[in-house]
A = this chain, B = another copy of it.
Amino acid sequence: MTDSVAPSLVPKLLPVHAPMAQFPMVEGELFVGGQKLSVLAERVGQTPFFAYDRSLLCRRVAELRAALPEQVKLHFAMKANPMPAVVGLMAGLVDGIDVASAGELKVALDAGADPAEISFAGPGKRDVELIQAVAAGVLINVESSRELPVLAAASKRLGLPARVAIRVNPDFELKGSGMKMGGGPKQFGIDAEQMPEVMAEVGRLGLAFEGFHLFAGSQNLRPESICEAQQKSYELALRLAELAPSPVKFLNLGGGFGIPYFPGEQPLDLAPIGANLQALVKRAAKELPEASLVIELGRYLVGEAGVYVTRIVDRKVSRGQVYLVADGGLNHHLSASGNFGQVIRKNYPVTISKAMGRSAQCSETESVSVVGPLCTPLDLLADRMALPAIAEVGDFAVVFQSGAYGRSASPEGFLGHPASVEVLV
């Protein structure tokens, strides 16, 4: 799909979206969870909705297991998609759940995740949250030395160990990341150079030290950058292990695996990452013999398995430009509108799926803008995009790559429109 430009100006050079083959399109209708979208919409009973495909989630985990060494533990960072049903499914597929608040901790525990395999990271953990984490028996990724005495007091009062890993702010960053979360001054973790002091304090307070958490950045599509960050994280952890009060059992090397959102982006090649981790696993067997290596993924596990489905309420032409006005937009899916961390707005992959009984085949495209119902020009799901020239009122405008940072990362109440719903199919 490409933006609309006069044909003479468009050779084959314009970048296009990666194909969204995970959702088949048959006679103008998308299939989600093996079901016609129009039927699924009737089952859901309303638009807009998010649908997450169970089989795609399973497949993604299986692909990762195949590509990465079996010794590497796979964690799901549920901040990417906290729908309880998704967390429940993922808890059965992966080796652990990473939570970012006491609210997420509750969802993970309710979903049946094993507390032994839950870890809790986040700057600004409130005292009450630290106490909840100790009471739950989960691993706390300590982000600040301020947390240490609070954890020690909770441990003493509850008669339970305070399981801690130290989140380290490394002295390097993940190149080419959508977001940089390590290196330089940061609110995340404890600066690597402060670790001697902090490790001594962990020992003094009798906390149950388990390891390190390093997270250099997110949404990266360059395997060589991810490999480099993993190597550097490993090397740093190895140096820090010498300071630790007890052997490292848990080494979270972060995540950062990206998915293709925008024209020109390609899926991440896992092969070099698998080879890199294989080498690290081998080293760790000798150098950190008690340690499990952990990769923590959110978006990469769930992002491509989800769609955001809106109904087209109006088709209007203003000064030559076709607008499809949908019944939802930035209120449900802020990141697809381009208002969440993007500097220059680009289109997510979007398509049109016909309503019940309206199957259509069309090889022609038209330049359309898909907008939501809000009274703001920010409410834009597709900006002058070449879409199949079949869209009528009642059809569906569908945003792909919507399984992560969709509903929960959006201002649902903005302008008082109905909330979206989520289904796992």
CB <8 Å contact, B411 and A319: no
CB <8 Å contact, B313 and A373: no
Chain B nearest CB, measured from A384 CB (Å) = 9
The closest CB in chain B to the CB of A419 belongs to B103
Binds B, one of A151-159, A183-191, A223-231: A183-191
Instruction: Give chain B residues whose Cβ lies under 8 Å from the Cβ of A316.
Output: 144-146, 187
Chain B nearest CB, measured from A301 CB (Å) = 16
Indicate which residue in B99, B319, B326, B415 contacts A100 across the interface (CB closer than 8 Å): B415
A125 on interface, CB distance cutoff 8 Å: yes
CB <8 Å contact, A179 and B371: no
Instruction: Give chain B residues whose Cβ lies under 8 Å from the Cβ of A393.
Output: 146
A375 on interface, CB distance cutoff 8 Å: yes
Instruction: Give chain B residues whose Cβ lies under 8 Å from the Cβ of A126.
Output: 313, 327, 373
A414 on interface, CB distance cutoff 8 Å: yes
A323 on interface, CB distance cutoff 8 Å: yes
Query: Provided the pairs A79-B375, A416-B104 are in contact, do residues A185 and B321 lie with their beta carbons within 8 angstroms?
Result: yes
CB <8 Å contact, A107 and B416: yes
CB <8 Å contact, A314 and B191: no
CB <8 Å contact, A124 and B372: yes
Binds B, one of A33-41, A49-57, A270-278, A337-345: A337-345
A122 on interface, CB distance cutoff 8 Å: yes
Number of copies: 2
Instruction: Give chain B residues whose Cβ lies under 8 Å from the Cβ of A372.
Output: 124
CB <8 Å contact, B378 and A415: no
Query: Provided the pairs A393-B146, A409-B411 are in contact, do residues A123 and B371 lie with their beta carbons within 8 angstroms?
Result: yes
Chain B nearest CB, measured from A145 CB (Å) = 8
A376 on interface, CB distance cutoff 8 Å: yes
Q: Which of A158-196 contact B (CB under 8 A)?
A: 169, 179-181, 184-188, 191
Interface size, chain A (Cβ < 8 Å): 68
CB <8 Å contact, A104 and B415: yes
Bound CA span A144–B322, Å = 13
CB <8 Å contact, A125 and B373: yes
CB <8 Å contact, B373 and A415: no
A318 on interface, CB distance cutoff 8 Å: yes
Query: Provided the pairs A179-B377, A372-B124 are in contact, do residues A415 and B313 lie with their beta carbons within 8 angstroms?
Result: no
Please encode chain A, from 106 to 150, with 1 for each CB lying within 8 Å of some chain B CB and 0 for all others. Answer: 110000000000000111111000000000000000001110000
Chain B nearest CB, measured from A320 CB (Å) = 6
CB <8 Å contact, A102 and B416: yes
Instruction: Give chain B residues whose Cβ lies under 8 Å from the Cβ of A411.
Output: 334, 408-412
A45 on interface, CB distance cutoff 8 Å: no
Bound CA span A354–B325, Å = 48
Bound CA span A100–B408, Å = 23
A413 on interface, CB distance cutoff 8 Å: yes
CB <8 Å contact, A124 and B325: yes
Instruction: Give chain B residues whose Cβ lies under 8 Å from the Cβ of A418.
Output: 103
A101 on interface, CB distance cutoff 8 Å: yes
Instruction: Give chain B residues whose Cβ lies under 8 Å from the Cβ of A313.
Output: 124-126
Chain B nearest CB, measured from A119 CB (Å) = 12
A374 on interface, CB distance cutoff 8 Å: yes
Chain B nearest CB, measured from A153 CB (Å) = 15
Instruction: Give chain B residues whose Cβ lies under 8 Å from the Cβ of A191.
Output: 318-319
A211 on interface, CB distance cutoff 8 Å: no
Bound CA span A318–B123, Å = 13
Query: Provided the pairs A124-B325, A313-B126, A378-B341 are in contact, do residues A185 and B318 lie with their beta carbons within 8 angstroms?
Result: yes
Indicate which residue in B100, B187, B412 contacts A369 across the interface (CB closer than 8 Å): B187
- 24 pairs, A vs B, C-beta closer than 8 Å: A79-B416, A82-B413, A100-B374, A101-B373, A101-B416, A101-B417, A103-B418, A122-B373, A122-B374, A122-B375, A123-B314, A123-B371, A124-B327, A124-B373, A126-B373, A144-B316, A144-B325, A146-B314, A184-B319, A188-B377, A191-B319, A339-B340, A341-B378, A408-B414
